[in-house]
Structure 1
Amino acid sequence: MSNEFFVRFDENLLRLPSCLAVHAQLHPNLIKFTCEEYVKYIQQFHELNICGIIRKNEAETTVLALAAYRKHLNTFYTIRFEIDDLIVDEKERKHGLGTRLMHYLIDHAKQEGVSKISVHCNPIHTDAHRLFFRLGLTINCFEFDLENKTVLPDNDQIRIIDVTDLPDKENEQLLIRAHEIYQQLRPHLPNDQNEYVKQLRDICRTSPARILFVLDKNDNILGLTCYRITENIQYSKHIYCDDLVTDENRRSSGVGRFLINYMKNEREKLGIDKLILDSGVQRGRAHKFYHREGFYISRYGFSMAI
């Protein structure tokens, strides 16, 4: 007798040869690992959760499908429920397992109080795209990967200040001064300044993330970025830029390039290869800028309100 179950994967399930075999169908680089090495590799991603569908009978337990997801605070969704991987064993496809697994993840996200889910997917995986479209997800952003590693000279007319670890009073003053600029990118951020400051501080403290401002010689705030050092199976350890915005009155003045250059420098210092960011599909002007700076679209971002 055979039964199928939705489960959160523990170390024993991760150790199953079928778990590694299924996951390697999406990430072929994983095939180089033994089962023990795979478990250790997955466990280094502390924010990553693995769940899926298994089949159990008297003789063995087999992984049929799995998903890797993360949950963290950000300025876009407040709580971001992000599915990095979703894969059904190629021998088990056409049986509705992908749909069932997505419904399981949606129900789990609802229980966590999440209002939207997001899924990243390679542009070539068109079967997965069709699944997401059938379930009501739409492409809301493109994920950009920085290919250009050239670091540019600093601009002596502007400077960067990292507000993350400043004393509370100074941190609050700068965050409030940047309120209107931040809302140019994220108009849904709280209008109440106390709520706004608390939300940004919570993101920095719990995610964690860092917030940087660009100021001119007169201490006017010209733009800002929020970024974090994070890890996933697609990119391993990388810098992920949550937010990048230049004051709409200061566009085309080199502020965006200055911020990207700063993150390039941080990447080099830390020995990290990748700098990743998402950009809404409607932001064509930003996409042109990212392409000029050496970024290319590596994945689509699907999302759905739940």
Structure 2
Amino acid sequence: MEIINLTTKQQWRESFPIMKELRTHLTEKDYIADLEHMAQNGYSLVACVDNGEMQALAGFVTDRSFAWGNYVWVHDLVTSSTARSKGYGAYVLNYIEQWARGQGYEKVILSSGLQREQAHHFYEHKVDMKKKSYVFQKKL
């Protein structure tokens, strides 16, 4: 297994089927356009590759706030449906944690939809993350 940084449009296109499993509303065109914008604003997209095949993705940004200090926010974390429960998600999160430590960040934080109970079990019991808050939204 290895982690690669996805920085080209070709790599982004190759990653789209996996991201589409998490972000089902996306079209490939919108995905590429959004990635172009987000990458210019600090978003990084990495993939876990095993035997030449992308198995999992994580997209993250860095920031600083009064509430969290210096932190890495994982916006997107998804493992291909054909590769779940094989350690790829944990491998990606471990990579992000090691990278964050090396860069002087204090925390890795993510938000997970209330309906994603299997993901919550993974975060709490497999990668030792703690539930710290709720995220609220209001559509405008």
Q: CA deviation at 1:173?
A: 1.4
d(CA) in 2 for partners of 1:211, 1:235:
22
Aligned to 2:139: 305
**1:201-220 to 2 correspondence within 5 Å?**
201-206=36-41, 208-217=42-51, 219-220=52-53
Match of 1:255, as an amino acid?
Y
Compare 195-204 and 293-302 and name the one that shifted more. Answer: 195-204
Question: C-alpha displacement at 1:172, in angstroms?
Answer: 1.4
Q: What CA deviation, in whole Å up to 9, does each residue of 1:156-193 have, x standing for no partner?
A: xx1111013xxxxxx1111111111101111111x2x3
Contact 2:69–2:106 (Cα < 8 Å) also in 1: no
Give TM-score scaled by structure 1 length: 0.44
| Structure having the higher Rg | 1
> How far does the alpha carbon of each residue in 1:228-255 deviate from its partner, in whole angstroms, 9 at most, with x for none?
1111110111111010000011000100
2:2 maps to which of 159, 172, 175: 159
Q: Give 1:199 shift.
A: 1.0
- Equivalent of residue 239 in structure 1, options 47, 51, 72: 72
**Does the CA contact (< 8 Å) of 2:61 and 2:73 recur in 1?**
yes
- The correspondence of residues 33-182 of structure 1 with structure 2, limited to 5 A, is 158-164=1-7, 171-182=8-19
Alpha-carbon RMSD: 1.1
Total equivalences in the alignment:
139
Match of 1:257 among 86, 90, 93: 90
Residue 135 of structure 2 aligns with an amino acid whose one-letter code is G
Q: 1:195 to 1:302 in 2, by over 3 A?
A: closer
Cα separation, 2, equivalents of 1:240 and 1:196: 19
In the alignment, which residue of structure 2 is the partner of 1:113? none
TM-superposed deviation, 1:210: 0.5
3-state SS of 1:188 partner: coil
Give 5+ residue unaligned stretches, structure 2.
Answer: none
Q: SS of the residue aligned with 2:24?
A: coil
Could you tell me which residue of structure 2 aligns to residue 200 of structure 1? Answer: 35
After the TM superposition, which parts of structure 1 deviate over 6 Å for at least 4 consecutive aligned residues?
none
Look up the SS of the partner of 1:213 in the other structure.
strand
Residue pair 2:71, 2:106 contacting (<8 A) in 1 also: yes
Which structure shows the bigger proportion of residues in strand conformation? 1
SS of equivalent residue, structure 2 residue 109: strand
Distance (Å, rounded) in 2 between the aligned partners of 1:195 and 1:228:
19
SS for the counterpart of 2:75 is strand
* Match status 1:296 vs 2:139: no
Of residues 105, 108, 114, the one that matches 1:275 is 108
Task: Give the corresponding residue for 2:99.
Answer: 266
Q: Which runs of 5+ in 1 are unaligned?
A: 1-157, 165-170
Give the C-alpha shift of residue 214 in structure 1.
1.1
TM-score, normalising length: structure 2? 0.94
- Name the % identity: 27
> How far apart are residue 194 of structure 1 and its match?
3.3
